[in-house]
Chain A
Amino acid sequence: MIAPAGDVRVLVIEDDPAIQRFLRNTLRVQHYDVREAETAAEGLSLARQVNPEIVILDLGLPDMDGMDVIRRIRQFSKVPIVVLSSRSDEDGKVTALDLGADDYVTKPFGVEELMARLRTALRHRFASEGSPPVFSSGGLVVDLTRRLVSVNGRDVKLSRKEFDILRELVIHAGKVLTHRHLLRVAWGSETGADVQYLRVYIRQIRQKLEPSSNQPRYVLTEPGVGYRLQVFD
């Protein structure tokens, strides 16, 4: 099978035939070059062979723990990994993200959600060489080098820590960042700072940025996992 030039090569590691077929059809229509594996072993060897640009990984594979698959892929590749996870398994999502997965989609999921996650993950792959110094989306403008923030033209003054947190969210705009990730950024590695410190800062950031801090537009909460900066396409 020869993929048309320019198509993004995606590796789908999924053992359920129905979901596999749905992903295959959907992704092909969206001009992805789809490669498939039904087991973790097969997936790992394909990941080496075909050098995919993005990986969709089901955490519940029959032959290996999904976490181990992430760990092994990360040993040789920085390829974005989007995890398919089941609902009410927040701990699993966090573990996957901390191990190096880029994002997750919760089953059952709609096609829009999956595509948005894939686009975000791919955007970061391209941008990781050097993110643009000024981020602008939906009225929020963040100048990373000059440390300036404005919302709808109104300047916002953030404290140093608040800006550090926002900058990390901006750098990974659209991606979910775990509590631990953000804590490490703001307080250095493993200081033992508590998630509630982070919550206090997020509240303060929201009070300064959001038109209504109770219905945030920019900084979204992913319950039990972390935060995500909304990107308005």
Chain B
Amino acid sequence: MSELIGRHSSLLRSAAPIGRISDSLRRRRVSRVLDAARIILLCTLLVAVFAVLGLVIEHYLHVPNILLVFLPPVLVVAVRYGFVAAAFTSLLCVAATSYFSHPVYSFAVADPGSIWALLIFVVVAAYTSNLAAKIEQRAEAESRQNRIIGQLHAFSSRLAALSSIDEIAAEAVAQIGRILHTDLVLLIPTDGALRMLLGGADAQLEPGDRLAAHACAAQRRPAGHGTDLFPAAIRYYRPLETDRGLVGVLGLNAPRVEPDGELDADEGRLLDALCDQLAVSLDRARLADEMHATAMLAETEKLRSALLTSVSHDLKTPLASILGNVSSLRQYWSLYDEATRDEMLAFAEDETLRLGQFVENFLQMTRLDAGAVRPHLEDVDLSDLIGAALQRTEKQTAGHVVRTELPDDLPMVRLDFVLAEHVLVNVIDNAAKYSPQGSTITLAAAAEPDRLRIDVLDEGLGIREEDLKHLFERFFRAGAADHRRAGVGLGLTICKGFVEAMGGTIEAANRKDRTGAVITVRLPRAPANEGRIARQEEGE
């Protein structure tokens, strides 16, 4: 970006300075005409002062040519008021010299030296005034260039701060419109067509303008008003291009409010530079969009392949054992003793339940993905919820000690009972899976200012630090302890989806007091109206 600014500023500096006199210069000329009288007066006064000075010098010092004394006022006037005033002053000086030299007090030009002096004065005045004017013009041009560079710099840094095409377009149209005092439209090629992004007029382009804009995009050269391509169009269109191709078409309202309507050379160059900047910014945003889309695609691909791996492993494994057990029993029924048959069938039954859980999870995930989970929020007694969840997980926690720590005065919590139960069942099931038989699983609840917090603590090995932040990601399985009879790695993802749908949060951590994991669910408290019901009860 900075390289670009450099390029533009050098381009501006090397360009011929002025095409047309700028505002300030014009103003000064007008004031010069208006103040002509004042200048004449000033020059006369100046000459008079120096004439007196000349008389004094001549009287005391006897300088041979008094004319030299008048050189400074001529120079001053030349620098300050230009050639005409200086020439006028020269004339006054020569007149004054003749008046005060012999014969004194007469304008008769005594010697031809005075004529020469007058000529020299005029030449010096011309040269000096020309020099001064040049210096001034150069300063003027420099300050204008500085202003343009400043505008360009501000423009590019504003655009650099934006990342989306729409933001860049909006900002660019506003900025360029302000700098050039005109209304603009910006069109972006999208999916093979030109898409009107925005402009002063938010309506559709007029038919003639649409043709001009498309011709501009197709032929990559300016079109519309003031060009030979569709000159009937209202606007002037120019392509925005980078090395990678067309990134947009900028349309300027051609009949500007300005007197002659056209952009001057300076403004033309400024427009060039602004368009280049805009093109680069748009290109950058487009590139970023494309990269983002590619990354998304890659992510989706990764998810899909993870899903396939997961599905084929986790759905086929139980199926294989069910099929194996059942077919073996059918084939060799008489070869097995009663106990073995029972064991094989029990195993098949368990595997079927597991398969059912997988299918259930996939269904829930699909519902979440489809945005079909609409929580039915109601105020619920937490012990009721926890009781229901424990009831559903009786089988999984049969080998564990389950402890609940619920204060008696817990407020009601606002949630969807079915979703919340699903969450707790999943979390409790996980706790049972990842902690040894005989250990304790604790469910603790506590009221926080505006939420209710439920902790599920186990006494397993805990979760590795690096796994903590991935725990709720799809298909993630902690510690890659894959021989465990774990789920598809969807359980906690679904929990997170459900909890968030209910306006709550879920997080995982390791216990501070001992080894083991703790999953914390926070859900919004119900508005306090439980007291009313309780009072009604006492009144009976």
A88 to B417, CA, bound (A): 12
A196 and chain B: residue at smallest CB distance:
B379
Please tell me which stretch of B69-77, B168-176, B301-309, B382-390 contacts chain A, meaning at least 4 of its Cβ atoms lie within 8 angstroms of it.
Answer: B382-390
Given known contacts A196-B378, A212-B404, A221 and B537 CB-to-CB distance under 8 angstroms: no
Taken together as a complex, chains A and B put the C-alpha atoms of A90 and B390 apart, in Å, by 19
With both chains docked as a complex, state the minimum distance between the C-beta of B389 and any C-beta of chain A, in angstroms: 9
CB distance from A179 to the nearest CB of B (A): 10
Question: Is the CB of A152 closer than 8 A to any CB of chain B?
Answer: no
List CB contacts (< 8 Å) of A196-233 with chain B.
196-197, 199-204, 206, 212-216, 220-224
Q: Chain A residues with Cβ under 8 A from B363's Cβ?
A: 87-88
Instruction: List B residues 324-373 near A (Cβ within 8 Å).
Output: 349, 352, 356, 360, 363-364, 367
The reply to whether the CB of A159 lies closer than 8 angstroms to some CB of chain B is yes
B140, CB-defined interface residue at 8 Å: no
Task: Flag if B417 contacts A214 (CB, 8 Å).
Answer: no
Question: Is B412 close to A, CB under 8 A?
Answer: yes
Q: Is A153 an interface residue (CB 8 A)?
A: no
User: Is the beta-carbon distance between B384 and A159 smaller than 8 angstroms?
Assistant: no
Q: Contacts of A203 on B, CB cut-off 8 Å?
A: 381, 383-384
Q: Which chain B residue has the least Cβ–Cβ distance from A91?
A: B376
CB pair A214–B406 under 8 Å, yes or no, is yes
The yes or no answer to B534 lying at the interface (CB within 8 A) is yes
| Residue from the set A199, A212, A216 with the largest chain B CB neighbour count within 10 Å | A199
Do A88 and B540 form a contact, CB below 8 Å, given A213-B383, A223-B388? Answer: no
Question: Is chain B's binding surface mostly helix, strand, loop or mixed?
Answer: helix
Total chain A interface residues with beta-carbon distance under 8 A = 29
Is there a chain B Cβ closer than 8 Å to A161's Cβ? Answer: yes
Residue of A nearest to B392 (CB): A223
Residue-wise interface mask of A (83-103) relative to B, using a CB-CB cutoff of 8 A (1 in contact, 0 not): 000011010000000000000
Measured in the bound complex, the distance between the Cα atoms of B533 and A140 in whole Å is 27
Q: Is A195 an interface residue (CB 8 A)?
A: yes
| B-facing residues in A45-80 (Cβ within 8 Å) | none
Query: Taking A203-B381, A223-B421 as contacts, is the C-beta distance between A161 and B537 under 8 angstroms?
Result: yes
Neighbouring B residues of A212 by C-beta, 8 Å: 404
Are A221 and B383 in contact (CB-based, < 8 A)? no
Q: A213-B383, A214-B383 are in contact. Are A110 and B540 (CB under 8 A)?
A: no
Binding site for A on B (CB under 8 A): 349, 352, 356, 360, 363-364, 367, 376, 378-381, 383-388, 390-391, 402, 404, 406, 412, 417-418, 421, 443, 526, 530, 533-534, 537, 540
Contacts beyond the supplied A88-B367, A221-B391: 11 A-B pairs with Cβ under 8 Å: A108-B356, A196-B412, A199-B379, A200-B412, A214-B386, A214-B443, A215-B387, A220-B388, A220-B391, A223-B388, A223-B421
Closest 7 CB pairs of A and B: A224-B418, A221-B388, A214-B404, A196-B379, A223-B421, A203-B381, A200-B533
25 intermolecular pairs with C-beta atoms under 8 Å apart: A88-B364, A159-B540, A194-B378, A199-B381, A199-B412, A200-B412, A200-B530, A203-B381, A203-B384, A206-B383, A214-B387, A214-B406, A214-B443, A215-B390, A215-B391, A215-B402, A215-B404, A220-B391, A221-B384, A222-B388, A223-B418, A223-B421, A224-B376, A224-B417, A224-B418
